[in-house]
Chain A
Amino acid sequence: MSAVTRRLPRLWWLGAAVLVLLAISVLRVVTGAEDLASSGTVRATLIALVPIMLAGLGGLWSERAGVVNIGLEGMMVLGTYGAGYFGYHYGAWAGVAGALLMGAIGGLIHATATVVFGVDHIISGVAINIIAVGAVQYLASLTFVGLPGGGQTQSPKLDNVGSITIGPLSDALGEVEDQNIFFVSELAAVARAMVTNLSLLVVLAFVLLFVTYWVLWRTSFGLRLRSTGESPSAAESLGVAVLRYKFVAVLISGALAGLAGGFLAMVASSNYRDGQTGGRGYIGLAAMIFGNWRPGGLLAGSGLFGYTQTLGLRQGGTSVHALLLAVAVLAIGLAGYQLWRKQVRLAVGILVAAAALITVYAAIDVVPGDFVNITPYVVTLLVLAFASQRLRMPAADGQVYRRGSAG
């Protein structure tokens, strides 16, 4: 099929971003859901997106080296504690380091179990999730009880890392945003979110996304690392120290997941709290799968999931209700495409789904919060079910490799 070999043009993502924003502008005008792209929503989306993206990056590192990591959630949990403990005692950036360190310890356990002892990756991940929750609760009652504002389930208040605000620009953009001009206001809202109270950790997260792309796809180190996830025996026969690469990859994976947890504790909130991660490690995993094990796709996935999550929190019923219409229109477009490809049955199926969506849109005014919350998971299931032929995970993902298997 030609679509697979045809490469996307350079800077496709910029075009995609503009298209998405344009669609949102249209949607705002059509449905009157004003909060769809206010600068507040954009900022909240950034905050919601970053932990998902960082967790997904963690998953990306590990799975590109062929180690499935469902312990991401546990490593995030460890990260929240690391940020809480080190952040309180030694300041904000020490908290960041602490989150990285604690996550890396989770990664160390996973790497030792899966790479050294050859334990099944899923089993090790489950064990880490159990251990992490227990360990963090145990440590919290050991170290936070008796501190001002601290207790068994939460740490004292933490300092935040700095943030960037360009005052005059922010104000000017704010004025443009308030004019309610089609598309221009949305653009201003996005720009305004970038120059107002932009946390340094958000910047760091995007830098890490780019660094991940560059290291994994543009250096020989990354090529070798990915080769251990595609065909470890071939890699070993070419002299790549397969186990060492896998080990390092899982360590980095843990550190990134830990940072995701630290972000939750320090930026998304102001202290460590028990149960703070709320399954975001799994959403990160879902975003990575949605993004086809690629950084760009991962960003799109975490953007989508972060955006729905944000809308859910900000009088979300109305906004998500508006999104229903968007999805229905998208589905009709997709059905047209399938019809053009002579896939009549599929097209009819999609049309029926679109009709159902429009019926729902007309029948209710507000989408209940419970349904908003499960959106990422439903989307992931649908993508897996209907687009799995287009997904390509690393060929040797999840397989246990023992040294010398190359023969």
Chain B
Amino acid sequence: MTNLDPRLQKIGLGLLAPVLALVLAFLITSLVLVLAGDPVGEVWSTLLGVPAERNVANILNNATVLYLSGLAVAVGFRMNLFNIGVDGQYRVAAFVAAVVAGEAWLPGAANTVLAILAAMLAGAAWAGIAGVLRAKRGVSEVISTIMLNFIATGLVAYFLRRVAVREEGSNDIGTKEIPEGSRIPGFQIGEGSTTEVYGFIFLAALAGFTYWFLLNRTRFGFDLRATGKSTTAAVASGISVTRMTIVAMLLSGAVAGLVGLPLLFGDSYSYGSTFQSGLGFAGIAIALLGRNHPIGIAIGALLFAYLDEQSNPLQILVGVSPDIVAITQGVIVLTVVISYEVVRRYGVRLEQHAVARALEAGRPTAGDKEEEARA
């Protein structure tokens, strides 16, 4: 690889890490299947087949939700904060949004906008507790967000019972249904499919773009990333770490507030006791997989949603529990982190070799190399 253009080499190394991680994860999953005596080949041919149109819609819908979750975690990661509380934040937020939208104080789309804003505010406020505790009292955000997750579950369950209306013919309780005019319409892809893709997917994409723009093209984003990389350097350049910590948690919570909304406005139309939970942890995996880059997170979300969807018929077709995919996803988290580290060390060694060779040839290029590193 020494004769390659350094930029090409960088891209090659960048791609090598996720590919290595996926290959490793697939090998480990196969090993588990072999040990358990399940048919490895059939499992993979079912999992890695081409999805039908109906399934594509499901994958896109799931990926939308996972994408927002990953984005929320990534905002924290850029500031070196570990937001494990996305679960609780989107639970509180989805509940608030469902109540606001269900009450329908405003007509039509204005109601939708109000509910989305309310959700972002609620998510931000819930995450903000952890932010303030971290900034003012030095409490690890990992522990506080875990505790806040459970508190959110209890509180929402309590308030749900207070405001709930019973759905007809079922024991499930839920908030009032969102009026038809305030729902976000979906769209169909292909001909034969009846499953619609959530219209919220565009808002998710917008959130991704905003994330990219805010962090990479504004002064604020630079400050945030700088603080994440080195607090001492940030303080030296006049950034208030306390303020940055709180703002980063607020932002992360605001994005987390969106996680429950595609489902709310596109499918269930009310918050009930059966609302989907556990998306926050998947978000952590996806943010890691996508290296906190908006496009990378999108790819990670699509991959996870694809695996989830494809695993559904496993039980019927080959008699293997679809939960095998959860093992794969968990292993991916570990292999991603490990392989990025391994590839990083490999890259450093390549560079050292190149420098050493250049020095031996009598051309002092250390200065050039430094230029490169800075670029």
Contacts and interface: CB of A to CB of B under 8 A. Distances in A.
Interface of A: 68, 70, 109, 113, 117-120, 122-124, 126-135, 137-139, 141-142, 152, 279, 282, 285-286, 289, 368, 370-371, 373-374, 377-378, 380-381, 384-386, 388
A70 B326 contact: no
Given A130-B326, A384-B137, A388-B137, A123 B154 contact: no
A113 B146 contact: no
Interface in B97-153: 133, 137-139, 142-144, 146-148, 150-151, 153
Contacts of A152: 321
A122 B82 contact: yes
A142 B321 CA distance: 8
Contact of B143 (A128, A135, A285): A285
Contacts of B158: 368, 370-371
Contact of A141 (B82, B153, B323, B334): B323
B285 interface: yes
Contacts of B148: 377, 381
Contact of A70 (B36, B146, B282, B285): B146
Contacts of A373: 150, 154
Given A122-B142, A123-B334, 7 more contacts: A122-B82, A122-B84, A123-B284, A131-B326, A131-B331, A142-B321, A282-B150
B147 A119 contact: no
Nearest to A133: B326
B142 A130 contact: no
**Which 3 pairs from chain A and chain B are nearest by CB?**
A134-B326, A131-B330, A130-B330
A269 to B, nearest CB: 21
A138 B147 contact: no
B52 interface: no
B143 A137 contact: no
A152 B288 CA distance: 31
Contact of A134 (B36, B133, B150, B330): B330
B286 to A, nearest CB: 12
A282 B338 contact: no
B337 A120 contact: yes
Contact of B326 (A137, A286, A384): A137
A374 B334 contact: no
B341 interface: yes
B327 interface: yes
A148 B303 CA distance: 38
A10 to B, nearest CB: 32
B284 A370 contact: no
Given A127-B285, A152-B321, A384 B330 contact: no
B26 interface: no
B44 interface: no
Chain B contact-residue range equals 35 or more
Contacts of A113: 334, 337-338
A118 B341 contact: yes
10 contacts: A124-B334, A126-B284, A126-B333, A130-B330, A134-B323, A137-B326, A138-B326, A374-B155, A381-B144, A385-B133
Contacts of A289: 143
Interface in B138-183: 138-139, 142-144, 146-148, 150-151, 153-155, 157-158, 161
Contacts of A129: 281, 330
Contact of A126 (B150, B281, B327): B281
A19 B142 CA distance: 34
A88 B209 CA distance: 54
A331 B333 CA distance: 45
A380 B147 contact: yes
B200 to A, nearest CB: 25
Given A122-B82, A286-B147, A373-B154, A130 B323 contact: no
A180 to B, nearest CB: 34
Contacts of A131: 326-327, 330-331
Contacts of B288: 123
Q: Interface on chain A toward B: helix, strand, loop, or mixed SS? A: helix
A138 B327 contact: yes
A68 B142 CA distance: 11
A117 B334 CA distance: 10
Contacts of B284: 123, 126
Interface string B322-360: 011111011101100110010000000000000000000
A130 B324 CA distance: 11
A380 B139 CA distance: 11
A128 B138 CA distance: 27
B151 to A, nearest CB: 5
A138 B321 contact: yes
Nearest to B333: A127
Contacts of A127: 285, 330-331, 333-334
A280 to B, nearest CB: 11
Interface in B29-60: 32, 36, 38
B341 A117 contact: yes
A378 B331 contact: no
B137 to A, nearest CB: 5
Given A113-B338, A127-B333, A137 B137 contact: no
Interface string B295-330: 000000000000000000001000001011111011
A115 to B, nearest CB: 13
B285 A126 contact: yes
> Which of B133, B329, B333 neighbours the largest number of chain A CB atoms within 10 Å of its CB?
B333
A119 B333 CA distance: 10
Contacts of B155: 370, 374
Contact of A374 (B82, B151, B285): B151
Nearest to B338: A117
A133 B278 CA distance: 12
B81 to A, nearest CB: 11
> Which of A124, A129, A141 neighbours the largest number of chain B CB atoms within 10 Å of its CB?
A141
B47 to A, nearest CB: 14
B84 A279 contact: no
Nearest to A116: B338
A274 to B, nearest CB: 10
Contacts of A68: 142
A19 to B, nearest CB: 27
B341 A130 contact: no
B327 A134 contact: yes
A189 B36 CA distance: 49
Given A118-B341, A127-B334, A134 B154 contact: no
A122 to B, nearest CB: 5
Nearest to B282: A130
Contacts of B133: 381, 384-385
B78 to A, nearest CB: 15
A65 B10 CA distance: 37
A137 B321 contact: yes
Contacts of B281: 126, 129-130
A116 to B, nearest CB: 10
Contacts of B324: 134, 138
